Structure 1
């Protein structure tokens, strides 16, 4: 039998449709219920559904009054505060196209985005890095806050296939790609509610990530709100080791985080009393069996892992209804069509190939902005190629077998080595460079840079990288070599870099 999972199509997206309207659809029937609670040891800032919806639609009205028109692109340079989701949804509500970006990006990286996007304006927190010479209108956080009290704008309803928002992902070419998503993307996420979360209106979901991370925007905010649940987000500055107490104090029923957060929590807490917690959720990078076991021992609850990517969010997962078998990621969510492909199409069950999702999936991107060739290169017939290798069993459970390319994973972010190498090559001491991610201890990975060139002080190299790369892209180690390992075609053999690190540091 062929490695294809197909349990039927999902329910079609309603027409007309607006993503923000769908997310806020419970504001009328649950006006006084707490939709968002920004929590810390000192208390909570609660937002009811009525307050949330009014602030979002007021923000939308303010953006239109500022002169922006439906279809305009707005670059978001906002920090880890409630300003982020309010501006994001406010823009989408009135037909504008927000581009959420990490506050860790440098001004150099943001300038490249501005050149590619040609945005109509920038929504900016003055504390967040951004080039000052763009010539674009800037709406600061004070102006955004004032918009919340404006009379609410009407939702701009329309074709669910039209552009709603753009997110960035690290491209295999070394140039970050702008991924265009339709309004229907939020409708497709309904398949995650039972296929991963086990989410209901009674849940209180605490996401450990920052407001301005797309994992938090989707799993931590949009999905809970779309079912009438309560989202719990730690306030800016809350330490990871404080999260178990917040989980207990605020009666969280579901906890979502990147695998690295679970690992750090377990480093501080061998046992945790979390009587309200049903389970945890993990995504962003592979969850190790070691962390999964230790969390179960410490809390008595399981972690359900999900697999996805910026181009299609998560579509393979374990769930309360269908837990993953040992060693597997899980199975495709009901409504998804997923296959394991070889060069000639789907391979057989139990055979290795590339994980692929149907190009008809309602959650799949519209394409890469300004890069139709890159978009076409990701397609194979009716399938979108993820670039990850896997194997499917007779139950549809998929085992992850690694990347088919050299993409790195740094704290839940996919990073192209080419992007990091291009930035480092601008340093006068570096003539050649190769980077890769390396596991330095159980479940902890760093980016290491290997270079050929003049001797250079490591502190100087790190300072150079800080000016050009977001923190999660910066190498933590620099190793000077006489020559980089390369193949017969002269290309860097990045997989040969790890043994060089291990030889230097005495690892097995």
Structure 2
């Protein structure tokens, strides 16, 4: 598909682009219903592993959401109440989000990997009034239901369950007339439990106005979507990437979503889908691209795909090169957080610098600052920060709910601190160094784990790597790498030496891992990010 990208001149767009956040805005009423005026307009093409295929129009999503809003209202769920939504990629997930937004309820999405204990923690901490899930999760919830007296309404999808309302039956009996709530700029819309590097998850709250409107930038400039696109985001519904790329970002642009509902990750199936369906744009974590290029990718043709992006963790240059060889598409990196929309990215109209995070997103004043809040000169490492005064940008979260001290801790003067470290080159490109608490200090050097991980991943034996500090009598601490081997490779002392020499060649010799440990798997957060904190704590005996 040859056509003009949404951003043609980065400098001009960055200077001129402004998002207006009105006092009142409702994504269901102002966006979904707008696209639904064309009753044939496709919102979603959904498939599963059993050969089922369903198409949903915006009009159908709009209609189902009104019915569900009536069901929830009849059950006593009110504007401002929290609804736990724990589902895989069922069509109902999109109907539920739209219904909650329409009535002004607060959505709290969760992944299906949550345990009964996790669900109880969330229900308690968020004062949830309602849970909507499937039978598997409902069984987990029933174990702890007595300990969650706040949850008055329980709805299950797919098949009926004792003492639960059955979604399909309730919608069949509900009216399709519902007056969309007047949601204002201070009203909470969505609350994410976000796992930090330490402690229990915190609740990051976004509002009805700033967050959906902030994702105009995500969809228009980074995903490069137009209203005739079919966009596939390979992401769990339980974390913020789904809001970015499977809901607000895509539907702001009127593009249709491609959804593959599956309970397993199968790289061959992903490649088959990309070659069979008219998917034009793709979003996936770097780990997914990494696994895809390990397959026999030359067997496949990708006739429709025109634009690919990655987010969730830093992107390694060699993945971009291999993917481009196979598909003809550059992968454009994007950077942001659960607490934000897109902050920084590679865009089609700027030179791609492999390994860089790209440049600040339009509407975001992003800098690297020192501990006193001063903007640092180029090529000087510091904290990645968003300017929030005098003008707060669209898309930034409202607060860590019920934790004012924690909220205050991420602000410094005129800045919101992301907790990540980077440097900016002479041309304004950002280069990721690592989490503020992941930087390794050894023999007077500061080493960002990402650089070492990037070097390791270029070696054919390495499928995944995580790099942390490890105690050392002489140097205080040294670099240690945990490595998951690619298929066909076996751990050995010889391989350790080979990998160490490889890192010395690819990056500065002082950065090589003096210790290497082979592992079957690496600890990850629910959203798929490697939990270096666990590995680091085990090294330091914490």
TM-score of the superposition, structure 1-length normalised? 0.78
Structure 1 unaligned blocks of 5 or more: 410-414, 418-435, 444-461, 487-491, 493-508
Paired residues of 1:24 and 1:49 also in contact (CA < 8 A): yes
Residues 1:375 and 2:407 are matched in the alignment? yes
Paired residues of 2:42 and 2:56 also in contact (CA < 8 A): yes
Paired residues of 1:358 and 1:382 also in contact (CA < 8 A): yes
**What per-residue deviation string (whole Å, max 9, x for no partner) do you get for residues 404-459 of structure 1?**
114999xxxxx9x9xxxxxxxxxxxxxxxxxx98343479xxxxxxxxxxxxxxxx
Residues 1:102 and 2:111 are matched in the alignment? yes
1:14-53 equivalences in 2 (<5 Å): 14-40=22-48, 42=51, 44-53=53-62
2:211 to 166, 180, 185: 185
**What per-residue deviation string (whole Å, max 9, x for no partner) do you get for residues 24-80 of structure 1?**
044333321221011246252110111111112211121111111111111222233
Change (3 A) 1:181 1:405: same
Change (3 A) 1:470 1:17: closer
2:168 to 145, 149, 155: 145
Paired residues of 1:34 and 1:48 also in contact (CA < 8 A): yes
Distance (Å, rounded) in 2 between the aligned partners of 1:101 and 1:285: 20
Change (3 A) 1:94 1:286: same
Distance (Å, rounded) in 2 between the aligned partners of 1:440 and 1:11: 44
Matched with 2:76 is 67
**TM superposition shift of 1:197:** 1.4
Change (3 A) 1:372 1:301: same
- SS in structure 1 opposite 2:136? coil
Matched with 1:456 is none
Change (3 A) 1:216 1:437: farther
1:479-494 equivalences in 2 (<5 Å): 485=540, 492=542
TM-score of the superposition, structure 2-length normalised? 0.74
Structure 2 unaligned blocks of 5 or more: 1-12, 161-165, 440-448, 451-465, 469-479, 488-520
Matched with 1:269 is 296
**TM superposition shift of 1:84:** 1.6
2:360 to 332, 336, 357: 332
1:468-507 equivalences in 2 (<5 Å): 485=540, 492=542
- SS in structure 1 opposite 2:145? coil
- SS in structure 1 opposite 2:228? coil
- SS in structure 2 opposite 1:362? coil
Distance (Å, rounded) in 1 between the aligned partners of 2:43 and 2:529: 34
Paired residues in the alignment total 435
Distance (Å, rounded) in 2 between the aligned partners of 1:106 and 1:148: 28
Paired residues of 1:17 and 1:157 also in contact (CA < 8 A): yes
Distance (Å, rounded) in 2 between the aligned partners of 1:88 and 1:337: 30
Distance (Å, rounded) in 2 between the aligned partners of 1:38 and 1:280: 20
Per chain length, whose mean CA-contact separation is higher, i.e. which structure has more relative contact order (CA < 8 Å, sep 6+)?
1
Change (3 A) 1:293 1:473: closer
Change (3 A) 1:199 1:84: same
- SS in structure 1 opposite 2:36? coil
